[in-house]
A and B are shown apart, each in its own frame.
Chain A
């Protein structure tokens, strides 16, 4: 093929002046961003590197350097052998507990909150606005204020120290933010749709399942992301409302790492820490933009 580039280009530059890639401002901008990014990435890097080293190497070396000899032993140990008190079956127990707390809590809270949000928007009753306002204010009250009364309530109900009790607590405390989320989303669905469905004879649940639910899948995903990370990361409720056998992963992790007896095995500790952080991290990296949206929506949560 012959060269077909028009010769006219030689006669002088045309088109807009290209933005200089390496202007001083740009170097400053990207330089700053790069330095900041290093600060943010560093802890993750240190966690991964430390968890892949053996103890002798940790004692000699520097925490930022990659391992000379990669070993997965700390991971195995953190998962299945690390001790908390008398139990030496590792974090796997906490993981299972967390899963058993997480799934029912997320489902229950989202179901209840979505119905709430729907009722608050489309089936306004007397005082529904007041209800809502109190609910939002309630979300700002420090949990410590409500801990003991809830302990009493759960004890009266006979579910204090059980996973069921904790699930209930998570559901109640997830209520303000989730209700707000669903209420705001449902309010953007045109009211005509709702009215048309009423005329066609659909009832409360009919409209919810046939119209609201299919139209608001994105917000359900946002709610799931919010709840999964929130409940997984919870520490206070886990430590107050469950017993040692049923401690969620965060509580067990803290007990493993901050236990005073025994030799400190930093590599196992970091492996355990990473394992606990893995679930929210995976959720975060998969969900991407939706996570950001959840944050913006959850901005009222506090």
Chain B
């Protein structure tokens, strides 16, 4: 079975990369066309929009999940009461699927009934907040939902990291009279570097795969405003019957993941070998 898995993973990946250099349409066929598919891919405005969206979403999502996740973990680490309750509340969205997440937020952000409607009925007649219907800010609508789902997870890992820090460190800094917030920034965060890197890699790899959430929340709209690469791949592979394009796009996704992964692997495994 492990062998099958390897064959599927390695073989499948190689197959995709190889056939992305062919002119396959409905069915895969071995007609080599060099980088043609990639040329077409990068001159497609839909693909370029997808990449831009992904970058924008990625930068914000990485920044906020990690910063907010860490801050929440710090708050929960203050020996508070009801810690379990708070943790349970913050983590439950992570158990839900992106489809459910997307649909709920689609409803909350619905301009006719949701947040916009309520603020208007409070007296602010001109209040506008319709991220899912405004191409310029639709990506932030996705972000709100994505953060809701994912920060609990980051918080949990960070909390485990904070708990792993030796109590003596805290005592030592207290003896030295260093304020708590300074200890966090100058001592704790550097000590938690591996945790931060792990979280960074996991969250980044997850962002590149972003698909379900967009499908459920906006279906890539309005227009093409919230397209993401994974959607491009799916549409070209299974509905537009332009397999070569789909494969080229998925290969680009693979390259993106490798860009994230290789430095990490180098740090993680290369570092150990050198002691």
Contact = CB atoms under 8 A, between A and B. Distances in A.
Contacts of B88: 285, 288
Contacts of B105: 43
Interface string B90-121: 11111111111101111110000110011001
A296 interface: yes
A59 B213 CA distance: 26
Contacts of B215: 235, 254, 258
Contacts of A142: 208-209, 230, 250, 253-254, 257
B102 to A, nearest CB: 8
Contacts of A301: 202
A288 B87 CA distance: 10
Given A144-B253, A236-B211, A302-B202, A43 B148 contact: yes
Nearest to A270: B107
A153 to B, nearest CB: 7
B238 interface: yes
A72 interface: no
B75 A62 contact: no
Contact of B95 (A149, A229, A270): A229
Given A240-B238, A295-B157, A37 B5 contact: no
B185 interface: no
Interface in B191-240: 198-199, 201-202, 205-206, 208-209, 211-212, 215-216, 219, 230, 233-234, 237-238
B206 A131 contact: no
Contacts of A99: none
Contacts of B201: 302
B43 interface: no
A141 B153 contact: no
A258 B219 contact: yes
Contacts of A42: 108
15 contacts: A43-B101, A58-B113, A134-B10, A140-B257, A142-B230, A147-B237, A147-B250, A150-B12, A176-B5, A253-B103, A254-B215, A285-B88, A295-B156, A296-B160, A299-B198
Interface of A: 29-30, 32-33, 36-37, 39-44, 46-47, 50, 58-59, 62-64, 112, 115-116, 119, 131, 134-135, 137-138, 140-150, 152-153, 171-172, 175-176, 179, 229, 232-236, 240, 250, 253-254, 257-258, 266, 269-270, 273, 276-277, 280-281, 283-285, 288, 291-292, 295-296, 299-302
